[in-house]
Amino acid sequence: MRQSLARELSNLIERGRDRQLRLAVTGLSRAGKTAFLTSLVYQLRHAGLEARLDLLPAAREGRLLGAQRVAQQDLGVPRFPFDEAMLALDDSPPRWPEPTRGISELRLHIRYRPQRGGLLGGLGRDSATLTLDLFDYPGEWLLDLPLLDHDYLSWSTGQQTSLSPERRTLASGWLDAVADLDPAAAADEGELARIAQHYAEALRAAREAGFADLQPGRFLLPGDLDGAPVLQFFPLPGLDVDDRQRLETLPEDSVYHTLARRFAYYQQHIVRPFYQEHFRRFDRQIVLVDVLGALNAGPERFEDLSRALATLMQSFDYGKRSLISRLFSPRIDRLAIAATKADHVTPEQHVNLVSLLEALLGEPLKDLRFADIPVKAFSLASIRATRAHEVEHQGKHAPALRGTTQDGEETLVFPGEVPVRLPRSDFWTRQGFAFHAFRPLSREARGDGLPHIRMDAALDWLIGDKLT
């Protein structure tokens, strides 16, 4: 009896020693993934020293001893370039780190002292280690999930109807090129490659113009697949789902069947492997959203971001989607969503920013709650670029921000109010909001550490329970 108790205790200690958490960070491009991960690593590494993490109990109680980067598990995945990111921030003038492309990975050992009354603390252990695997991947990859619910015909017809007037203008080169393509004609490889290039250019132009709802995601970051037929398909205008029977009888080498084969290959060899090899192994996830950027870009982009986020969040809502749950059964047990760049509005607006984020994700959040996945919304600044000021103007006190623009000019700005709900048309006509892009604080200006807003709150939600 005593022996079995000893064995149980030993198992418990072992499990404690081996504790491991896989935390994934995603967001659409320019949402701030690289800055978030850089700050996360920095803050944990400097816990108890320069890093201020008062909202993370283990840090506040002096039990967090720091973190060290160690060898990652999957040698075939690029390492998250933390050193390069810090070099950019420490440069003069300071620069934002280069955005990552594709997936990257980093493993941290976090040392901490368990709570006295806690399970491990009670065992008299001085310190414990949490192994934190961090993953960073483009949110655009999650936008490809709905592709799996389609075959080529249904996807093709769906894509047609979703083009807004401005997106149609940006895609005019492709629309011209595809107009005369006959689905029944024998496929000409060169012609399909040319039209596909127009399609990829239309997607890139839309991204440049601030749109987020872009499919297929890999067309924007082809990597080693550049020039491969799998990235050379596109929707066929004028198709109707009622044409299915007629289309199915077309010859195997027709334009229609050639594009359909490529679509199926993309599903099988690009979309599925990401879910199977990576996504379903994440324990926790944070989704970063550049709400302020979209607010600044006007109603059409804001609408588009809302649609893209709804699509993206479906990946986490596996309860409802039997196809996905059967295929991938992800094990994410906690989700955070965060509006980034909160330092670009004055502090009293942060509450509004969280409300707006929750409004933007209204439907997906309801689904997640129904699926019983704990989710929490934040506003944060991974790496602070401004300082809050108060300005007296005609006898009134007004909140303002001081920061350095990308051109190197030190400015004082009044960004205005963040709407607390999804903005109605009069918000856009009033143009009540002006977003400025600032560069990071210089080493001198930021002092010790890497100032942030609520990184500690996000950390507490994402890993705090593992540090007790």
Angle (CA) 313 162 137, round 5°: 35
Angle (CA) 233 236 238, round 5°: 175
Cβ proximity to a second copy, 253 vs 448, nearer residue: 253
The pair of three-digit structure tokens given for residue 91, joined into one six-digit string: 């440069």
Least gap, CB of 197 to a second copy (angstroms): 11
- The DSSP-derived string for 68-87 is EEE--S-TTSPBP-HHHHHH
Cβ proximity to a second copy, 72 vs 314, nearer residue: 72
On whether the CB atoms of residues 341 and 438 are closer than 8 A, the answer is no
User: What is the spatial distance between Cα 382 and Cα 369, in angstroms, rounded to a whole number?
Assistant: 26
User: What is the spatial distance between Cα 58 and Cα 460, in angstroms, rounded to a whole number?
Assistant: 9
Least gap, CB of 228 to a second copy (angstroms): 5
Cβ proximity to a second copy, 1 vs 75, nearer residue: 75
**Type of residue numbered 175:** L
Cβ proximity to a second copy, 81 vs 293, nearer residue: 81
Spatial CB neighbours of 156, under 8 Å, sequence gap ≥ 6: 235, 236, 239, 259
Query: How far is C-alpha 140 from the geometric centre of its chain's CA atoms?
Result: 8
E strand intervals along 313-426: 334-339, 375-379, 386-393, 396-404, 410-413
On whether the CB atoms of residues 421 and 355 are closer than 8 A, the answer is yes
User: What is the spatial distance between Cα 41 and Cα 49, in angstroms, rounded to a whole number?
Assistant: 14
Cβ proximity to a second copy, 11 vs 268, nearer residue: 268
172: closest CA among 204, 191, 199, 211?
A: 199
Cβ proximity to a second copy, 69 vs 95, nearer residue: 69
Cβ proximity to a second copy, 250 vs 359, nearer residue: 250
Cβ proximity to a second copy, 270 vs 354, nearer residue: 270
Least gap, CB of 192 to a second copy (angstroms): 9
Long-range contacts of 75-82 (CB under 8 A, 24+ apart): 77/103, 77/104, 77/105, 78/102, 78/103, 78/104, 78/105, 79/104, 79/105, 79/106, 80/37, 80/41, 80/104, 80/105, 80/106, 80/134, 80/136, 82/37, 82/38, 82/41, 82/106
Least gap, CB of 267 to a second copy (angstroms): 12
Cβ proximity to a second copy, 260 vs 381, nearer residue: 260
Least gap, CB of 270 to a second copy (angstroms): 9
Residues that bind a second copy (CB under 8 A): 69-72, 75-79, 81, 83, 102, 104, 187, 189-190, 193, 223-230, 253, 258, 261-262, 265, 269
Least gap, CB of 131 to a second copy (angstroms): 13
User: What is the spatial distance between Cα 230 and Cα 344, in angstroms, rounded to a whole number?
Assistant: 41
Least gap, CB of 113 to a second copy (angstroms): 23
Least gap, CB of 311 to a second copy (angstroms): 25
Least gap, CB of 322 to a second copy (angstroms): 28
Least gap, CB of 108 to a second copy (angstroms): 11
The pair of three-digit structure tokens given for residue 358, joined into one six-digit string: 């929750």
The pair of three-digit structure tokens given for residue 39, joined into one six-digit string: 């700050």
Least gap, CB of 100 to a second copy (angstroms): 9
Cβ proximity to a second copy, 66 vs 229, nearer residue: 229
Cβ proximity to a second copy, 189 vs 240, nearer residue: 189
**Type of residue numbered 339:** A
286: closest CA among 465, 96, 467, 31?
A: 31
